[in-house]
Structure 1
Amino acid sequence: MSVTINAHQLGRLIARTSDHISDDDRTPALHGIRLEADTEYLYAAATDRYTLAAARYRHHSPDNQHNDAEAVVPFARTLPTAALPALREWISAAPGHDPVTVTPTGDRLRFTTANGEINISVNPDAEFVDWRGLLRGVIEQTPDTGSPVPVFPAFDTRLQARWQSADTVVRFRVTGDQQALLVAGEDFLGAQMPCRACHDSDTLTTLDDVCATWDGVLSASPAVTSRAALPVPARSRLEAPSTVGETTEELLRQTLRSTAHMIEADSELFAAHAIAGVTAWAAYRYLDALHTADPHLAAAVVAETAGQLDDGAIGEWAWDAAVAAGYNPQKWMAGLEEALAPQLAPGDRQADEGFKACLKQRAEQN
C-alpha cells in the first residue's frame, strides 16, 4: 500500500518526533523514526525510553479501501537515524505543497514526487515498541488519590525541551509522582517519564518544602491570581497583527467595516470600500483554511507577514513575488499609469514622475 501527503506535512511529521530518537545505536528499534500507515493516517513515532512522541497526518491514499479482515496497519517501517539528514534535505528541496507518495518495497521505503524520488534502506522485519499501548496506558492513568501528600513529580528539564517541536500549544496532564506526564497537541500525543530519584541536594521534594523555603519572601505580598497583575503592552494601531487570532479578528473587523461603509459611500469611495472588504474576506477564508490544515504553518506565515508589513516595503515584496511567479509587474504598473494619467492633477503628475523613476530603477535591478 502507498500513501500520499504533501512535502511540508511529511517534513513536519519528522520534525515533531525526531527530538525523541534514542542516540543509542545498540538498540536499532529505538534508533530511528517509525513510519506506519493505516487506511486513514500516516503516523510517525520515536522514543528513547524516557520520552515518547507520536504524530499523525490524514493521508490521501489511492487504495484506501480495506475490509475488516485485513491488517490494521498496511505498512510499518523504521527509518534509521543515519538516513534522516538525506531525507530532510530531499523534502526541503521540494515545494511544500508537492504531493509525496510513500511506498514500502521490500527492504526499501520509497518517497516519490513528480520531479524525483529517494529510496531509504529499511529492515522490513525490524520491531518497534508498542507505542499505541504505551500511550494508551498513559492516557488511562488514574489520579494518585491514595498518596498522603499532593502530587508533586520531578521532571528533567532537558527532556522537556524536546516538546518545543510538538505544536505551538500543547496540554500537559500529571496524575502521580511516579506516573508519566501526558503531552497532547493537534494530531500529537507524547509522554515523559518522571525522575525516579532526585539529586542528593534536592530538599524540595514536597509542595510544603517549597512553601517553607519561600514563605519569608512571598509573604511580603498578597496572593494574586489574576492575569491583570501582569502588564501587557498595548499594540499600536499601526502595528501589524502577529498571531493567527489577532489577524483573524482584524480581517473580520475590516470586512464588516468596509462593507458597512460601502453602502453609504459615494461613487468614488464605493469601489475602495468594496475592494478592501472583498480582500479582507478572501484573506480571512485563506487563513482559516490554512489554520485548519496546518496550525503551525499558519502561525509561521502570519508572523513572517507581520514582519514584512511592519517593514513597510510591501511594494518591493510584491514585486519580487510577482517576478518569482513568472509575471511581469512592470507591465502591470505601466497599464495602471496609462489608465490614471488623464485623471492626475499637476501636483500628482510630479509625484507620479518620481514613482515612475522608482519603477524604472526596480525594473533595471531585475
Structure 2
Amino acid sequence: MSTATRVQAHHLATAITRTKPHISKDDTLDVLNGIHFETNGNYLYTIATDRYTFAINRTDVVNGQPWTAHLREDDIPIVLAWLDRHDEDAYIEINTEAVGSRTDLVLSSLIGTLRSSDPTVNRRHFPDWRTMVRKILATDQAVNPLTAFNSRYLARFKVIGSVLHSWQAGPRKPLVLTDNRDFIGLVMPAPDEKVTRDGLVDNWAWHLKRTEANVLGASFDLTVEYRDRHGDPWRYSGKDGQYGEPLMELVGIDDDPWPLLKVIDTYGPLSKDEPIAA
C-alpha cells in the first residue's frame, strides 16, 4: 500500500539534522542504526537513539495516512544534499512502499525522486518512545543532589540552535531537554558513583576563597595565617559572615569561626605569619 505525506524541504532537513547525532553506531542494534520516521497524518516524528541519548523532533505535515519507516544512516548525506537543492518553501512528498518484507522510504518533488531502501526488516521493534517519554514527564521533579552526564552526549544537542529547557525527575534520572516547540530529548546519566557534591565543592573551595579584606581601614591578606598577641595562629576559614565579614578560625581548634574584627578586638594586634597551605 502506498502512502503520501507532504512536508516542506527545509523542515524535513531540520528534522533529520536534529536527530542524526543520536543514531547508534552499534551494528548489533540495526533497528537503531538510522532515523525512525513515524506520522499520524498531522505530524511527522523523526526519532533516533543510541540508548545514551534520545532525540524526538516533531514537524507539521499536510495530509497523509499513518505510517512508519526507517532512514538508514548511510543514506542521510545523500538525502540532505538532495533536500538542499530545493527552495526552502518547496514541498516534498514522502511515500512508503512495501517491497517484499521491507518498507522503502520514497521522497518526491518537482526535481525528481529519491529512494532509501533498507535491507533490514522487522522495524516494528523500535523502542516505544511515547510510553518512555510519557512516564518520564509524568514524574514529579525531585531535589537532585548530584548527577553526572557525559559532555560528548550533551554536545549532540548543539544543532537545536536555541535555548533548551531542562529538568530531571530525580537523582541519576534522565535529563530532559526541550526547546518548548518541536524538539524533546533525553540524556542518560553517566555512572560516577564515587563522586560526591561535597567532594566537588572541596576541590574548588580553596581556589575560590577571598584573598583580601579591609577592616578598620587596614588591609588583611587572607592567604596567610596571623598570630595574635598570645602567639596563637589564626587563618581565614573560607567562609563569610552575614554581612560579608571574613570568618577566622583558630588553627587546630574545632570551634565556630570568629569574625575578623572580633579577633582583632579580643586578641589583637595580629601579625602576619606563614602562607596558608593549599
Report the TM-score when normalising by structure 2. Answer: 0.68
Q: Structure 1 residue aligned with 2:147, among 150, 153, 156? A: 153
How far residue 215 of structure 1 moved from its aligned partner, in angstroms, is 2.1
For the pair shown, which has the larger CA radius of gyration, 1 or 2? Answer: 2
Matched residue, 1:130: 128
Matched residue, 1:169: 163
How far residue 175 of structure 1 moved from its aligned partner, in angstroms, is 3.1
Matched residue, 1:95: 87
Consecutive aligned runs of 4 or more in structure 1 exceeding 6 Å deviation = none
Q: Structure 1 residue aligned with 2:109, among 99, 107, 113? A: 113
- Sequence identity (%): 27
Matched residue, 1:262: none
Matched residue, 1:218: 208
User: What 5-or-longer segments of structure 1 have no aligned partner?
Assistant: 65-73, 224-366
8 Å CA contact 2:44, 2:60 repeated in 1: yes
How far residue 182 of structure 1 moved from its aligned partner, in angstroms, is 0.4
- 1:80 and 2:82 matched: no
Q: How does 1:122-271 map to 2 (within 5 A)?
A: 122=118, 125-127=122-124, 128-144=126-142, 151-185=145-179, 186-197=181-192, 205-220=195-210
* RMSD over aligned Cα atoms: 2.1
How far residue 124 of structure 1 moved from its aligned partner, in angstroms, is 6.4
8 Å CA contact 2:136, 2:169 repeated in 1: no
Partners of 1:125 and 1:2 in 2: how far apart? 22
**What do the CA deviations read for 1:240-263 (whole angstroms, capped 9, x no partner)?**
xxxxxxxxxxxxxxxxxxxxxxxx
Equivalent pairs counted in the alignment come to: 204
Greater fraction of residues in helix: 1
8 Å CA contact 1:135, 1:190 repeated in 2: no
Greater fraction of residues in strand: 2
8 Å CA contact 2:69, 2:104 repeated in 1: no
Partners of 2:142 and 2:25 in 1: how far apart? 33
Give SS of 2:54's match: strand
- Indicate the structure whose relative CO is greater, using CA pairs within 8 Å and at least 6 residues apart: 2
Give SS of 2:48's match: strand
Amino acid at match of 1:95: D
Q: How does 1:255-334 map to 2 (within 5 A)?
A: none
Matched residue, 1:29: 31
The farther-off stretch of 10-19 and 120-129 is 120-129
Q: Structure 2 residue aligned with 1:44, among 11, 23, 46? A: 46
How far residue 176 of structure 1 moved from its aligned partner, in angstroms, is 2.4
Give SS of 2:79's match: helix
Distance 1:75-1:208 versus aligned 2 partners, 3 A rule: same
Matched residue, 2:16: 14
Give SS of 2:30's match: coil
User: What 5-or-longer segments of structure 2 have no aligned partner?
Assistant: 212-238, 241-278
How far residue 213 of structure 1 moved from its aligned partner, in angstroms, is 2.5
